[in-house]
Amino acid sequence: MINMKLFLSAILLTFASLMFSACSSTQAQPDLTGRIDTVQQVLQGEKLGLILINSPGDRTSDKYVLTVTTETSIQRQVGQTLEPVICSDLQAGQTIKVWLSGPVRESYPAQADAKKIVIVE
């Protein structure tokens, strides 16, 4: 009976550690930071819009066209907190931090899908 309890405890601890490591695997640093030049609403399937941003300090490209989908998390940073917003809150002139989903497509401007966008103004 004690062996069974130890076995179940070990399984529970393993499961819990996997869950916590999965939750903490979110990338802390954004893939790029830039200023929005234009926002184009698309509303085509899961695609909500396209954003052209300038990212002059980026190593890959100084301009990106980002695809915003229904899966993209969009937030506004207010002090130390993040508030959820919607795609229509994205406007030209805003500074944003972006986490990408998938590879950057080689073109100019570079093209990528946005996983998470944080408006930092």
Domain assignment of residue 41, yes or no: yes
H/E stretch holding 14 reads helix 2-23
Query: Which residue do the tokens 């944080």 mark?
Result: 118
Please report the pLDDT score of residue 19 as a whole number: 45
Q: For 41-66, b where at least 16 C-beta lie within 10 A, e where not — what string?
A: eeeeeeebbbbbbbbeebeebeebbb
CA gyration radius, the chain: 19
CATH number of the domain within which 73 lies = 2.40.50.140
Domain assignment of residue 16, yes or no: no
H/E stretch holding 38 reads strand 32-44
Q: Which domain covers residue 54, as residue numbers?
A: 32-119
Domain assignment of residue 10, yes or no: no
Domain assignment of residue 93, yes or no: yes
Quick: pLDDT tens for 64-90: 999 999 999 999 999 999 999 999 999
Number of structural domains the chain divides into: 1
C-alpha 87/C-alpha 23 separation (Å) is 25
Domain assignment of residue 81, yes or no: yes
Domain assignment of residue 18, yes or no: no
Tokens at residue 87, please? Answer: 């795609």
**Quick one: pLDDT band at residue 2, thresholds 50, 70, 90?**
low
Domain assignment of residue 27, yes or no: no
pTM score, two decimals?
0.76
Quick: pLDDT tens for 83-109: 999 999 999 999 999 999 999 998 999
**Quick one: pLDDT band at residue 121, thresholds 50, 70, 90?**
confident
Quick: pLDDT tens for 28-54: 899 999 999 999 998 889 999 999 999
